[in-house]
Amino acid sequence: MRILGICGSLQKNSGNLALLMSAAANAPAGVEVRLYDGLRDLPHFDPDLDREPAPVAVAELRRQVSASDALLIAMPEYGHSLPGSLKNGIDWLIGSGELESKWVAITSAVPAAERGRLGLRALSDTLGAVRAKLVWSEPIVRGPGLERDVAELLRRLAAALHG
């Protein structure tokens, strides 16, 4: 099973990137978590550019999403919503179909359990445009329980894929 991890933060030392790296390092047998690191390379979404051939960075994003069985998106909450760079990446995928009915887990690495929920709700609404099948939509608190919670997220995602 191939899971594509997408970090919604462009920050080099992001807690969300650390969460994804933990998922990749601790994935159970038979599960591969690969990290996508191209959000910063995507042009601003422009329907006039959304034609064949697609811009190189867009084509690579679409290829990686297509080659994955599921997505794991970890993102910070910005202004009670999702980061603009992540929304831009999703916009490039909406019309082309790679996200259509894809299994997706979304989370946010947070300092306290009550944080991040508004951003995850906004991301969930955005993914609803392509009928993505959400398996997980909860923040994960940074700290001693992070690896346990990431393992549970991966277990639920694998179970959903194996029906």
User: Using one digit for the tens of pLDDT, what is the confidence trace for 23-42?
Assistant: 999 999 999 999 999 999 99
CATH superfamily of 2-161: Flavodoxin domain (3.40.50.360)
Tell me what pLDDT residue 163 has: 76
DSSP 81-144: B--HHHHHHHHHHHTT-TTTT-EEEEE-EESSTTSSHHHHHHHHHHHHTTT-EEEEE--EESST
Dist. CA 90–CA 35, nearest whole Å: 16
Dist. CA 114–CA 97, nearest whole Å: 33
Q: Is 20 helix (H, G, I), strand (E, B) or coil?
A: helix
Dist. CA 80–CA 24, nearest whole Å: 28
Domains in the chain: boundaries: 2-161
pLDDT digits (tens, 9 = 90+) for 66-109: 999 999 999 999 999 999 999 999 999 999 999 999 999 999 99
Angular region, 30: left φ>0, alpha ψ -120 to 50, beta rest: left
Please report, as a single letter, which amino acid is at residue 18: A
Question: What confidence tier does 162 reach under pLDDT thresholds 50, 70, 90?
Answer: confident
Task: Give pTM, 2 decimals.
Answer: 0.96
Q: Are 104 and 69 in contact (CB under 8 A)?
A: no
pLDDT digits (tens, 9 = 90+) for 122-155: 999 999 999 999 999 999 999 999 999 999 999 9
Tell me what pLDDT residue 113 has: 86
Tell me what pLDDT residue 132 has: 95
